[in-house]
């Protein structure tokens, strides 16, 4: 896996949005296939989505849910940062140091939004 670290962000054209009105299954599939393409750039072969076993697909689905939760948290964090009264538009544009935000714990068994 050492060659994966040699891939730069410029090698992988991505666009990101936090508005995700699609099914978790679709996210899992596209995330898995994008990951497979990145690995291929490093010469690592991974099984195509449609050839995964049921257990492998379940793992990929769980990873898709993790990615979706990460996007949700990042969007929530950005909204909180943007709402801070001392955060000027100039600082936001320049990506100034951001103060840490408290982590809100979800009750056990609560579903992801």
Residue 97 binned pLDDT confidence (cut-offs 50, 70, 90)? low
The 3-state DSSP class for residue 38 equals helix
Residue 23 binned pLDDT confidence (cut-offs 50, 70, 90)? confident
Q: How far apart are CA 33 and CA 52, in angstroms?
A: 11
Asked if residue 49 lies in contact with residue 30, where contact means CB atoms within 8 angstroms, the answer is: no
Predicted TM-score (pTM) above 0.75: no
List helix spans (H) across 1-113.
24-41, 54-82, 89-94
- Residue-averaged pLDDT of the chain: 76
Residue pLDDT, tens place only, 45-81 = 999 999 999 999 999 989 888 888 888 899 999 888 8
């Amino acid at each position: 896996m050492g060659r994966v670290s040699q891939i730069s962000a410029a090698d992988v054209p991505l666009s990101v949005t936090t508005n995700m009105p699609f099914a978790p299954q679709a996210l899992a599939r596209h995330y898995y296939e994008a990951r497979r393409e990145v690995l291929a750039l490093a010469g690592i072969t991974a099984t195509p989505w449609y050839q995964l076993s049921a257990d492998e697909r379940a793992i990929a689905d769980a990873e898709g849910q993790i990615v979706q939760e990460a996007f949700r948290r990042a969007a929530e964090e950005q909204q909180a940062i943007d709402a801070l009264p001392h955060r000027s538009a100039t600082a936001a544009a320049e990506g100034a140091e951001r103060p840490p935000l408290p982590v809100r714990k979800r009750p056990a068994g609560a579903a992801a939004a």
